[in-house]
Amino acid sequence: MEHTGQLSPLGNHTTLVEFILIGFSDVPKLQGFLFAIFLIIYIVILMGNSLIIMITKVDPSLQTPMYYFLGNFSFLEICYVSVTVPRLLADLCRQNRSISFVTCAFQMDIFLTLGATECLILTAMAYDRYVAICNPLMYPVIMNKRLCIQLAAVSWIIGIQVPIVLIYEIFTLPFCKSNELNHFLCDVPPVVQLACGDTFMIETLISVLTVSNITLPFGLILGSYGKIISTILKLPSATGRAKAFSTCSSHLIVVVLFFGSCISVYMEPKSTLSSGMNKYLSLFYTILIPLFNPIIYCLRNKDVTVAMEKFLQKITTVN
C-alpha cells in the first residue's frame, strides 16, 4: 500500500498525514462474519449497560453508593465502545480505511480519557466495598452522597487530564515508516511503533502513566480486597459470608479482566511482541469487557438480578 504524505521541510523524510487502519483486512473471507459478530456485541453492550443505568436510577433498592458507581461505570462502557466499534464496523464494509492524524489523535484522546476514568471509577467501587464490609457502622457517614459525587467527578477530571501531554508528545513525533497501523483503532502501542525518531522519552512517559493510572489503582484495589476477604472470612454466619462475597465477586472479576489486559498492552508500548497480538489483546478490554460487565453483574449480583426482573416485568405489563 502506498504511503500518503507530504515532504517535510526538515529533511528528506516523508512526513505522514494519515494512517491506514488494517483492522481485520488480513482475513478478507471473514469480513461479513466479523461485522455481524461485532454488530451483535455492540447492540448487546448498549442494551445491557443502558438497562443497568436505568435500574440503578429507578429501583429504590439500588439507591446506594455501590450502584451509583455501577451506573457511572456502565455509562463509561457505552461511551468506551462507541469510540471504537462504529469505526471498526465501518472499516469492515469498505476498502478505504484511512484515518487522518487529527481524527486519530482525537480517537486516541477520548479512548484514553474514558479508559483512565474507568480505572478510577473501579477504584472508587473497591473503596466503597472496603468501607461497607470492613467498617459497616460508619458506612452511611463515610460514603455519603456528597463523597460519591466528588469521587466520580475527580475520576472524570483526572481521566480528562491524563492523555493531554501524551497525545501531544506522540503526534509531534516524526512518522516516516509505513503508515499502516496493524490495529482497528488509534491506540498508543501501534502508533508509537511507527515512529522513526527517538521514542525513549515517550516510552518512559507511557510507562509512568501506566503505573500511576493502571498499575497503582489495580494494586490499591487488590489491597482493598485483601482486607475485604480477610474480614468476610471472620463473619460468623455462612449466609452473611455468602452475601458479602456476592456483592464483591462481580466487581473483582471485572477488575481482574480489565486491568490485566490493559497492563499487558501498555507496560511495553514498543515491545517486540507482534502487533497482531496487541490487536487481539485490545479486543479484550475494548469490546469483551464492556460485554461481560452487564452479564457478570446480572449473574453474580442477586440485587441487580431481582431489580432487572422487576423492571422488565413492569415494562412488559405496561406494554
Q: pLDDT by residue (tens digit) across 227-272?
A: 988 988 887 877 777 777 776 777 888 888 888 888 877 876 555 4
How far apart CA 121 and CA 22 sit, in angstroms, is: 32
How far apart CA 263 and CA 306 sit, in angstroms, is: 34
Provide φ and ψ at 134, rounded to 5°: -90, -20
User: Is the pLDDT score of 290 beyond 70?
Assistant: yes
How many other CB atoms are found less than 10 A from the CB of residue 186?
Answer: 25
Q: Is the pLDDT higher at 213 or at 299?
A: 213
pTM of the predicted structure, to 2 decimals: 0.86
Write the CB contacts of 218 (distance below 8 Å, at least 6 apart in sequence): 119, 255, 259, 263
Q: pLDDT by residue (tens digit) across 97-138?
A: 899 989 999 999 999 999 999 999 999 999 999 999 899 999
Q: H/E element holding 20?
A: strand 18-21
How far apart CA 267 and CA 214 sit, in angstroms, is: 10
Q: pLDDT by residue (tens digit) across 128-183?
A: 999 998 999 999 999 999 999 999 999 999 999 999 999 999 988 888 767 888 88
User: Is the pLDDT score of 7 beyond 60?
Assistant: no
Of the candidates 174, 167, 80, 176, the one whose C-alpha atom is nearest the C-alpha of residue 121 is 80
How far apart CA 170 and CA 267 sit, in angstroms, is: 16
Q: pLDDT by residue (tens digit) across 65-75?
A: 989 999 999 99
Cα 268 versus chain centre, distance: 18
Domains of the chain: 14-318 (1.20.1070.10)
Write the CB contacts of 49 (distance below 8 Å, at least 6 apart in sequence): 74, 75, 77, 78, 290, 293, 294
Tell me the average pLDDT of the chain: 85
User: For the residues 83-100, what does the mean pLDDT come to?
Assistant: 92
Write the CB contacts of 17 (distance below 8 Å, at least 6 apart in sequence): 4, 5, 6, 100, 101
Q: Model confidence at 292, in pLDDT bands (50, 70, 90)?
A: confident
Question: What are the start-end ranges of the H helices in the chain?
Answer: 31-58, 65-91, 101-134, 139-142, 145-171, 188-193, 200-210, 216-233, 238-266, 275-283, 289-300, 302-318
Q: Edge-to-edge, what's the strand order for the sheet holding 98-100?
A: 98-100, 18-21, 180-181
Q: Is the pLDDT higher at 108 or at 194?
A: 108
How far apart CA 47 and CA 53 sit, in angstroms, is: 10
